[in-house]
Amino acid sequence: MLEIVQIPVWDDNYIYLVHEPNSKKTAVVDPAEAKPVLEEAKKRGWQITHILNTHHHFDHVGGNEDIQKATGAIVVGAANDTRRIPGISVTLSDGDEFEFGQSKAKIFETPGHTTGHIAYWFEDSQALFCGDTLFALGCGRLFEGSPEQMWESLSKLRNLPAETNVYCAHEYTSANADFAITIEPQNDDLKKRVEKIKQMRDLDMPTVPSKLKEEVKTNPFLRADDVNIAAFLKLDGEDAATVFAEIRRRKDNF
Protein backbone atom coordinates (compact mmCIF):
# COMPACT_ATOMS: atom_id res chain seq x y z
CA MET A 1 0.00 0.00 0.00
CA LEU A 2 1.15 3.51 -0.80
CA GLU A 3 1.74 5.99 2.00
CA ILE A 4 0.04 9.25 1.04
CA VAL A 5 0.71 12.59 2.73
CA GLN A 6 -1.41 15.64 2.02
CA ILE A 7 0.38 19.00 2.01
CA PRO A 8 -1.90 22.07 2.05
CA VAL A 9 -0.42 25.17 0.37
CA TRP A 10 -1.64 28.60 -0.66
CA ASP A 11 -5.32 29.26 0.01
CA ASP A 12 -6.79 25.95 -1.08
CA ASN A 13 -4.27 23.78 -2.96
CA TYR A 14 -3.33 20.25 -1.99
CA ILE A 15 -0.01 18.67 -2.98
CA TYR A 16 0.50 14.97 -2.30
CA LEU A 17 3.60 12.99 -1.38
CA VAL A 18 3.18 9.36 -2.42
CA HIS A 19 5.65 6.86 -0.97
CA GLU A 20 6.02 3.25 -2.14
CA PRO A 21 7.65 1.53 0.86
CA ASN A 22 9.09 -1.52 -0.89
CA SER A 23 11.14 0.38 -3.46
CA LYS A 24 11.34 3.50 -1.26
CA LYS A 25 10.38 5.60 -4.28
CA THR A 26 8.51 8.82 -3.53
CA ALA A 27 6.45 10.89 -5.93
CA VAL A 28 5.02 14.34 -5.52
CA VAL A 29 1.70 14.97 -7.23
CA ASP A 30 1.03 18.42 -8.70
CA PRO A 31 3.53 20.56 -6.77
CA ALA A 32 2.38 24.17 -6.76
CA GLU A 33 5.66 25.07 -5.07
CA ALA A 34 8.78 23.26 -3.94
CA LYS A 35 9.70 24.35 -0.42
CA PRO A 36 6.97 22.67 1.67
CA VAL A 37 7.33 19.49 -0.39
CA LEU A 38 11.08 19.28 0.09
CA GLU A 39 10.72 20.02 3.80
CA GLU A 40 8.08 17.32 4.31
CA ALA A 41 10.08 14.72 2.39
CA LYS A 42 13.22 15.54 4.38
CA LYS A 43 11.31 15.29 7.66
CA ARG A 44 10.16 11.78 6.72
CA GLY A 45 13.48 10.66 5.30
CA TRP A 46 11.97 10.15 1.86
CA GLN A 47 13.89 10.76 -1.35
CA ILE A 48 11.69 12.27 -4.06
CA THR A 49 12.16 10.27 -7.26
CA HIS A 50 9.18 11.39 -9.38
CA ILE A 51 6.89 14.32 -10.03
CA LEU A 52 3.43 13.32 -11.30
CA ASN A 53 1.57 16.13 -13.05
CA THR A 54 -2.11 15.96 -13.94
CA HIS A 55 -2.05 19.12 -16.08
CA HIS A 56 -0.03 22.19 -16.91
CA HIS A 57 -1.56 24.95 -14.77
CA PHE A 58 0.98 26.81 -12.66
CA ASP A 59 -0.62 25.81 -9.36
CA HIS A 60 0.15 22.20 -10.33
CA VAL A 61 3.60 22.49 -11.95
CA GLY A 62 5.05 25.61 -10.32
CA GLY A 63 7.40 23.56 -8.14
CA ASN A 64 8.57 21.17 -10.86
CA GLU A 65 11.87 22.79 -11.75
CA ASP A 66 13.02 23.51 -8.19
CA ILE A 67 12.14 20.01 -7.00
CA GLN A 68 13.82 18.47 -10.02
CA LYS A 69 16.92 20.59 -9.42
CA ALA A 70 17.07 19.59 -5.76
CA THR A 71 16.35 15.87 -6.20
CA GLY A 72 16.82 14.86 -9.84
CA ALA A 73 13.19 13.70 -9.87
CA ILE A 74 11.69 12.35 -13.10
CA VAL A 75 8.76 14.45 -14.34
CA VAL A 76 5.75 12.50 -15.59
CA GLY A 77 2.75 13.91 -17.44
CA ALA A 78 0.42 13.85 -20.42
CA ALA A 79 1.91 12.87 -23.77
CA ASN A 80 -0.25 15.41 -25.57
CA ASP A 81 0.80 18.35 -23.39
CA THR A 82 4.59 18.06 -23.18
CA ARG A 83 5.27 21.63 -24.25
CA ARG A 84 3.45 23.02 -21.22
CA ILE A 85 4.83 20.77 -18.45
CA PRO A 86 8.26 21.88 -17.18
CA GLY A 87 10.93 19.18 -17.15
CA ILE A 88 8.75 16.36 -18.47
CA SER A 89 10.56 13.24 -19.67
CA VAL A 90 8.03 10.43 -19.17
CA THR A 91 4.84 10.80 -21.20
CA LEU A 92 1.59 8.93 -20.64
CA SER A 93 -1.62 8.44 -22.62
CA ASP A 94 -5.06 6.97 -21.98
CA GLY A 95 -4.88 3.32 -20.95
CA ASP A 96 -1.17 3.35 -20.15
CA GLU A 97 0.15 1.87 -16.93
CA PHE A 98 2.76 3.74 -14.91
CA GLU A 99 4.97 1.48 -12.81
CA PHE A 100 5.96 3.02 -9.50
CA GLY A 101 8.04 0.58 -7.51
CA GLN A 102 5.75 -2.35 -6.73
CA SER A 103 2.66 -0.27 -7.44
CA LYS A 104 1.02 0.61 -10.74
CA ALA A 105 -1.21 3.47 -11.83
CA LYS A 106 -3.67 3.21 -14.68
CA ILE A 107 -3.78 6.42 -16.70
CA PHE A 108 -6.98 8.10 -17.83
CA GLU A 109 -7.03 11.01 -20.24
CA THR A 110 -9.59 13.40 -18.77
CA PRO A 111 -9.84 16.49 -20.99
CA GLY A 112 -12.25 19.28 -20.16
CA HIS A 113 -10.54 21.52 -17.62
CA THR A 114 -7.57 21.48 -20.01
CA THR A 115 -7.07 19.53 -23.21
CA GLY A 116 -4.05 17.70 -21.79
CA HIS A 117 -5.38 16.58 -18.41
CA ILE A 118 -4.73 13.06 -17.07
CA ALA A 119 -5.60 11.17 -13.88
CA TYR A 120 -3.64 8.46 -12.05
CA TRP A 121 -5.50 5.51 -10.49
CA PHE A 122 -3.54 3.26 -8.13
CA GLU A 123 -5.95 0.35 -7.85
CA ASP A 124 -4.16 -1.55 -5.09
CA SER A 125 -4.17 1.53 -2.84
CA GLN A 126 -7.68 2.64 -3.88
CA ALA A 127 -6.22 6.04 -4.71
CA LEU A 128 -7.23 8.36 -7.55
CA PHE A 129 -5.22 11.51 -8.22
CA CYS A 130 -7.54 13.46 -10.48
CA GLY A 131 -6.14 17.00 -10.38
CA ASP A 132 -8.85 19.47 -11.36
CA THR A 133 -11.16 17.12 -13.25
CA LEU A 134 -13.16 15.85 -10.27
CA PHE A 135 -13.53 17.69 -6.97
CA ALA A 136 -15.40 16.78 -3.82
CA LEU A 137 -18.94 17.77 -4.86
CA GLY A 138 -17.64 19.52 -7.96
CA CYS A 139 -15.57 19.49 -11.11
CA GLY A 140 -13.12 21.81 -12.79
CA ARG A 141 -14.05 24.75 -14.97
CA LEU A 142 -13.98 24.14 -18.70
CA PHE A 143 -11.06 26.35 -19.66
CA GLU A 144 -10.12 24.43 -22.81
CA GLY A 145 -12.48 21.50 -23.33
CA SER A 146 -16.15 21.05 -24.13
CA PRO A 147 -19.02 19.87 -21.92
CA GLU A 148 -19.11 16.65 -23.94
CA GLN A 149 -15.42 16.02 -23.23
CA MET A 150 -15.75 16.74 -19.53
CA TRP A 151 -18.82 14.55 -19.15
CA GLU A 152 -16.97 11.69 -20.86
CA SER A 153 -13.97 12.27 -18.57
CA LEU A 154 -16.10 12.27 -15.43
CA SER A 155 -17.92 9.17 -16.61
CA LYS A 156 -14.62 7.31 -16.83
CA LEU A 157 -13.80 8.20 -13.24
CA ARG A 158 -17.33 7.50 -12.01
CA ASN A 159 -16.98 3.90 -13.16
CA LEU A 160 -14.06 3.17 -10.83
CA PRO A 161 -14.69 1.08 -7.68
CA ALA A 162 -16.92 2.69 -5.06
CA GLU A 163 -14.25 2.59 -2.34
CA THR A 164 -11.79 4.64 -4.42
CA ASN A 165 -10.38 7.60 -2.49
CA VAL A 166 -10.60 10.79 -4.54
CA TYR A 167 -7.45 12.86 -3.99
CA CYS A 168 -8.36 16.07 -5.79
CA ALA A 169 -6.16 19.14 -5.82
CA HIS A 170 -8.26 21.80 -4.07
CA GLU A 171 -10.30 22.39 -0.93
CA TYR A 172 -13.36 23.76 -2.72
CA THR A 173 -15.89 21.55 -0.99
CA SER A 174 -17.80 24.10 1.07
CA ALA A 175 -18.52 26.29 -1.95
CA ASN A 176 -19.33 23.23 -4.02
CA ALA A 177 -21.77 22.06 -1.35
CA ASP A 178 -23.56 25.41 -1.34
CA PHE A 179 -24.07 25.04 -5.08
CA ALA A 180 -24.87 21.32 -5.19
CA ILE A 181 -27.88 21.70 -2.92
CA THR A 182 -29.41 24.15 -5.41
CA ILE A 183 -29.37 21.40 -8.06
CA GLU A 184 -30.69 18.58 -5.88
CA PRO A 185 -32.49 20.13 -2.88
CA GLN A 186 -34.38 16.89 -2.19
CA ASN A 187 -31.30 14.62 -2.16
CA ASP A 188 -31.16 13.29 1.42
CA ASP A 189 -27.63 11.93 0.98
CA LEU A 190 -26.50 15.36 -0.17
CA LYS A 191 -28.21 17.16 2.70
CA LYS A 192 -26.44 14.93 5.21
CA ARG A 193 -23.13 15.46 3.47
CA VAL A 194 -23.54 19.23 3.38
CA GLU A 195 -24.02 19.26 7.15
CA LYS A 196 -21.00 17.02 7.69
CA ILE A 197 -18.85 19.26 5.49
CA LYS A 198 -19.89 22.32 7.46
CA GLN A 199 -18.90 20.62 10.72
CA MET A 200 -15.54 19.53 9.30
CA ARG A 201 -14.66 22.95 7.94
CA ASP A 202 -15.71 24.64 11.20
CA LEU A 203 -13.01 22.48 12.80
CA ASP A 204 -10.57 23.32 9.96
CA MET A 205 -10.51 19.66 8.89
CA PRO A 206 -9.83 18.74 5.26
CA THR A 207 -12.76 17.32 3.30
CA VAL A 208 -10.37 15.66 0.85
CA PRO A 209 -10.00 12.82 0.07
CA SER A 210 -13.59 11.76 -0.37
CA LYS A 211 -14.93 8.34 -1.33
CA LEU A 212 -16.08 7.89 -4.90
CA LYS A 213 -19.30 6.28 -3.63
CA GLU A 214 -20.09 9.58 -1.86
CA GLU A 215 -19.48 11.52 -5.04
CA VAL A 216 -21.72 9.23 -7.09
CA LYS A 217 -24.58 9.81 -4.64
CA THR A 218 -24.15 13.54 -4.11
CA ASN A 219 -21.96 15.29 -6.73
CA PRO A 220 -24.28 16.88 -9.30
CA PHE A 221 -21.58 16.84 -11.98
CA LEU A 222 -21.45 13.04 -11.77
CA ARG A 223 -25.24 12.81 -11.82
CA ALA A 224 -26.08 14.62 -15.05
CA ASP A 225 -27.75 11.48 -16.39
CA ASP A 226 -30.20 11.37 -13.48
CA VAL A 227 -33.74 11.94 -14.81
CA ASN A 228 -34.75 13.82 -11.67
CA ILE A 229 -31.99 16.38 -12.15
CA ALA A 230 -32.92 16.79 -15.82
CA ALA A 231 -36.54 17.36 -14.81
CA PHE A 232 -35.56 19.86 -12.11
CA LEU A 233 -33.56 21.81 -14.69
CA LYS A 234 -36.46 21.57 -17.19
CA LEU A 235 -34.29 19.52 -19.53
CA ASP A 236 -36.44 16.38 -19.69
CA GLY A 237 -35.32 14.09 -22.48
CA GLU A 238 -32.00 15.86 -23.10
CA ASP A 239 -28.77 13.88 -23.15
CA ALA A 240 -26.45 13.86 -20.15
CA ALA A 241 -23.85 16.14 -21.75
CA THR A 242 -26.51 18.82 -22.26
CA VAL A 243 -27.64 18.52 -18.64
CA PHE A 244 -24.03 18.62 -17.50
CA ALA A 245 -23.42 21.78 -19.54
CA GLU A 246 -26.34 23.50 -17.80
CA ILE A 247 -25.10 22.47 -14.36
CA ARG A 248 -21.63 23.78 -15.21
CA ARG A 249 -23.10 27.03 -16.57
CA ARG A 250 -25.02 27.56 -13.35
CA LYS A 251 -21.95 26.87 -11.23
CA ASP A 252 -19.88 29.33 -13.27
CA ASN A 253 -22.46 32.01 -12.46
CA PHE A 254 -23.20 30.94 -8.88
Give burial (CB, 10 Å; 0-12/13-18/19+) of 206. Answer: middle
Residues that are catalytic: 55, 57, 59-60, 113, 132, 170
Helices in 89-219 by DSSP H: which ranges? Answer: 147-158, 173-183, 188-202, 212-218
